[in-house]
C-alpha cells in the first residue's frame, strides 16, 4: 500500500488539496452569500441548499472551464507551435506531427503498448488524440454548466428587479456571461505564456517542469 501511495502521490496530493479547496470555497461562499441575502432583508440558505445553488455551481464551473480550456489549447497548439529554450515546448526541429516510429504506433509499437496503439484505422486515430479529446469534452461540459448556472443567477436578478427573464441563448450572447468567462480565460492564458517564457531562463532543481540547473538557456524541451 505504501508503495502504491508513493507511486500515485502526485495525483493524490493535488486531488486532496482540490477537495480541501472546494470545501473551503463552499463554506466561504455560503457565508458571503448569506451575508448578502441578509443585507437585502432576505433569508439565507442552508449548506446543503447552497451546494446545489446557481451561485456555488456558477463559481465552480467558471474556474473549471477555464482550466480545462487552458490544458486543451496547450495540448493541441504545442503540436505545431514552439518556443526555443522552453521546457514547455518541443525542439524547433520536432514541430508538427510525429512519425509512426517516434509515436511508437502500428508496427513500431513496443511490447506492452496499449492495444489501440497497435491497430490501424479509426481506433488508433481516436486513441492518438484521446488526451486532447478528453480535455475538450470536459471543457465543453463545464462551459455549458457554467452558462446554465450563470443564466439562472442572471434571471433571478432580473426577476428581483422587476425585469423580464431571458432565454439561455440570449444569455450566452449577453455581456454578463462573457465578462464572467473572459476574466477567467485571460488569467489562464497569461499563466501559460509566463510559464513558457520563465522556463527558458529560470530553474527549479529536481523539477520536471525545469531544465537542469546548468542547461544552456537555448536548450529546448529538456527537463531536470
Distance CA 88, CA 193 (A): 10
pLDDT at 102 over 90: no
pLDDT at residue number 64: 93
> Smallest Cα–Cα separation from 196: which of 75, 90, 87?
87
Per-residue model confidence as pLDDT tens digits over 165-198? 899 999 999 998 999 899 889 999 999 999 999 9
pLDDT at residue number 74: 93
Per-residue model confidence as pLDDT tens digits over 116-172? 999 989 999 999 999 999 999 999 999 999 999 999 989 888 887 888 889 999 999
Place of cell 454578463: 176
User: Residue ranges of the domains in the chain?
Assistant: 1-52, 62-92+130-224
pLDDT at 224 over 80: no
What's the whole-number mean pLDDT along residues 50-59? 91
Nine cell digits for residue 28: 466561504
- 5 CB contacts (<8 Å, ≥6 apart)? 12
Per-residue model confidence as pLDDT tens digits over 58-92? 899 999 999 999 999 999 999 999 999 999 998 88
| DSSP code for 108 | G
In degrees and rounded to multiples of 5, residue 138 shows phi and psi of -65, -40
Distance CA 201, CA 210 (A): 10
pTM above 0.85, yes or no: yes
What's the whole-number mean pLDDT along residues 42-67? 91
pLDDT at residue number 2: 87
Distance CA 201, CA 192 (A): 15
Amino acid at each position: 500500500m505504501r508503495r502504491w501511495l508513493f507511486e500515485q502521490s502526485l495525483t493524490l496530493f493535488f486531488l486532496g488539496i482540490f477537495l480541501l479547496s472546494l470545501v473551503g470555497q463552499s463554506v466561504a461562499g455560503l457565508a458571503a452569500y448569506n451575508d448578502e441575502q441578509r443585507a437585502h432583508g432576505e433569508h439565507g440558505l442552508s449548506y446543503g441548499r447552497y451546494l446545489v445553488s446557481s451561485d456555488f455551481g456558477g463559481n465552480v464551473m467558471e474556474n473549471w472551464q477555464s482550466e480545462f480550456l487552458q490544458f486543451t489549447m496547450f495540448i493541441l497548439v504545442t503540436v505545431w507551435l514552439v518556443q526555443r529554450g522552453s521546457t514547455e515546448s518541443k525542439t524547433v526541429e520536432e514541430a508538427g506531427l510525429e512519425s509512426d516510429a517516434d509515436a511508437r504506433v502500428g508496427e513500431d509499437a513496443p511490447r506492452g503498448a496499449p492495444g489501440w496503439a497497435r491497430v490501424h484505422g479509426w481506433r488508433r486515430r481516436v486513441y492518438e488524440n484521446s488526451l486532447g479529446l478528453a480535455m475538450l469534452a470536459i471543457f465543453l461540459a463545464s462551459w455549458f454548466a457554467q452558462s446554465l448556472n450563470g443564466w439562472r443567477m442572471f434571471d433571478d436578478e432580473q426577476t428581483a428587479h422587476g425585469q423580464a427573464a431571458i432565454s439561455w441563448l440570449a444569455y450566452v450572447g449577453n455581456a454578463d456571461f462573457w465578462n464572467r468567462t473572459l476574466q477567467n480565460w485571460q488569467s489562464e492564458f497569461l499563466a501559460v505564456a509566463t510559464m513558457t517564457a520563465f522556463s527558458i531562463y529560470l530553474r527549479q532543481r529536481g523539477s520536471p517542469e525545469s531544465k537542469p540547473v546548468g542547461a544552456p538557456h537555448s536548450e529546448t524541451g529538456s527537463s531536470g
